[in-house]
Structure 1
Amino acid sequence: MEKFELDILGCGSATPTTLHNPSSQVLNIREKLFMIDCGEGTQLQFRRSKLRFGRLNQIFISHLHGDHCFGLIGLISTLALLGRTGDLFIHSVAGLERTLRAELDFFCRDNPFQVKINVFDPHNSETIYEDRSLTVKTIPLSHRVPCAGFLFQEKQKEAHLLPDMIKFYNIPVKELSRIKQGADFITEEGKVVPNGILTKPSEPARSYAYCSDTAYDERIVPLIEGVDLLYHESTFADSDIARAKETGHSTARQAAQIAKMAKVKKLMLGHFSARYPDNSILLEEAREIFPETILANEGLREKL
Structure 2
Amino acid sequence: MKFEVTILGCGSATPTLRHWPTSQLVNHDEHYFLFDCGEGAQLQLRRYNIKFQQINHLFITHLHGDHCLGLPGLLSTMHLLGRTKDLNIYANAALQEAIEIQLRVSYSRLRFQLKWHPLSYDEPQIIMENAKLQVMSFPLNHRVPCCGFRISEKPKPRNMIPQMIEKYTIPFVRIRQIKAGADYILEDGTVIPNADLTLDPAEPKSYAFCTDTAFAEKTIDAVQGVDLLYHEATFLEKDRQRAYDTFHSTASDAARVANMAGVGKLILGHFSARYHDLNPFLEEAESVFKPVVLANEGLCFKV
TM range (shorter): over 0.9
Structure 2 counterpart of 1:302, one-letter code: F
Per the alignment, residue 100 of structure 1 pairs with 99
Q: Take 2:221 and 2:185, find their aligned partners in 1: how far apart are those partners?
A: 40
The root-mean-square deviation of aligned C-alpha atoms, in Å, is 1.6
Contact 2:124 2:137 in 1 (8 A): yes
When structure 1 is superposed on structure 2, of 161-170 and 214-223 the one drifting more is 161-170
Contact 1:141 1:220 in 2 (8 A): yes
Q: Report the TM-score, using the length of structure 2 for normalisation.
A: 0.95
1:47-126 correspondence runs (5 A): 47-107=46-106, 109-126=108-125
When structure 1 is superposed on structure 2, of 224-233 and 196-205 the one drifting more is 196-205
Contact 1:123 1:148 in 2 (8 A): no
Structure 1 counterpart of 2:251, one-letter code: A
Note the C-alpha offset of 1:186: 4.3
Q: Take 1:7 and 1:151, find their aligned partners in 2: how far apart are those partners?
A: 16
Structure 2 counterpart of 1:222, one-letter code: D
Per the alignment, residue 204 of structure 1 pairs with 203
**Which whole-Å deviations, capped at 9, do the CAs of 1:231-251 have from their partners, x for residues lacking one?**
000011011112111111111
- Asked if residue 24 in structure 1 is aligned to residue 23 in structure 2, the reply is yes
Per the alignment, residue 300 of structure 1 pairs with 299
**Which whole-Å deviations, capped at 9, do the CAs of 1:52-85 have from their partners, x for residues lacking one?**
0221111100001111001110111111111111
Structure 2 counterpart of 1:57, one-letter code: N
The alignment partner of 2:61 has SS state of coil
Query: Gaps (5+ residues) in structure 1?
Result: none
Note the C-alpha offset of 1:212: 0.5
Q: Take 1:110 and 1:176, find their aligned partners in 2: how far apart are those partners?
A: 48
- Asked if residue 280 in structure 1 is aligned to residue 279 in structure 2, the reply is yes
Contact 2:156 2:202 in 1 (8 A): yes
Q: Take 2:172 and 2:130, find their aligned partners in 1: how far apart are those partners?
A: 27
1:117-266 correspondence runs (5 A): 117-187=116-186, 191-266=190-265
The alignment partner of 1:46 has SS state of helix
The alignment partner of 1:95 has SS state of helix
Q: Take 1:108 and 1:151, find their aligned partners in 2: how far apart are those partners?
A: 36
Length, aligned pairs only: 303
Contact 1:21 1:298 in 2 (8 A): yes
**Which whole-Å deviations, capped at 9, do the CAs of 1:71-123 have from their partners, x for residues lacking one?**
11011111111111111111002211111110122236232112221101022
Aligned-residue sequence identity (percent) comes to 50
Contact 1:230 1:268 in 2 (8 A): yes
The alignment partner of 1:183 has SS state of coil
Structure 2 counterpart of 1:225, one-letter code: Q
Query: Gaps (5+ residues) in structure 2?
Result: none
When structure 1 is superposed on structure 2, of 219-228 and 286-295 the one drifting more is 219-228
